Amino acid sequence: MIGKTMEKALNEQIREELGSAYLYLAMAAYFHSQGLPGMARWMEVQVQEEFGHALRIYNHVVERGGRVKLEALPEPKFEWASPLEAWRAAYDHERYISGRIHKLVELARQERDYPAEVMLQWFVSEQVEEEDQTRRVVEMLERLGESGRGLLWLDKELGKRGKEEE
């Protein structure tokens, strides 16, 4: 059975993961508005990943006899100053999520909640990938500039995400 402290903290993380999905869906819509369907596609795939993250924690709480309580999501931003700014925001957001995951691992250790600690290890590794992916796009955009052929090439590349499984 999961303890109340961990249950509450994991419920908050379910909200954060669903909030990430909501934020990235808002970014996808922004990229569509900018004529960048590839970036929008990348973000739409990311929305599914974030929903999967939320479900992973949801399942853990349920399997351990806890009670999932869904909390209200904040309204995501609607506009960004440029595609680069949106990607920077995505990278910052992933760093924020990594920080939260690390705090949850510390809490699991304090509470001696070993099952939660093991479940959270997956997220520790996943966050390395999440940060890496968004940081790389930021770096490429900084190098290519935000207009012309470079941007269109990158948009096309990012639009391939998830297509192999279709």
The answer to whether 23 and 93 have CB atoms below 8 angstroms apart is: yes
Q: Which of 11, 15, 20, 43 binds ligand FEO (CB under 6 A)?
A: 20
- Overall residue count recorded for the chain in this entry: 166
Q: Which of 38, 52, 128 is nearest to 87 (CA)?
A: 38
DSSP letters of 56-76?
A: HHHHHHHHTT------PPPPP
State which residue, 21 or 107, has the beta carbon closest to ligand FEO.
21
Out of 7, 94, 113, 155, the only residue in the binding site for ligand FEO (CB under 6 A) is 94
Q: Segment 42-61, which members bind ligand FEO (CB under 6 A)?
A: 50, 53
**Under a CB-based contact definition with an 8 Å cutoff, are residues 94 and 131 in contact?**
yes
Q: Which residue's CB atom is positioned nearest to ligand FEO?
A: 53
User: Does the footprint of ligand FEO cover residue 7 (CB under 6 A)?
Assistant: no
Residue of 97, 119, 120, 151 interacting with ligand FEO (CB under 6 A): 97
Q: Does 11 bind ligand FEO (CB under 6 A)?
A: no
| H/E segment holding residue 132 | helix 114-144
Q: Which of 6, 11, 17, 138 binds ligand FEO (CB under 6 A)?
A: 17
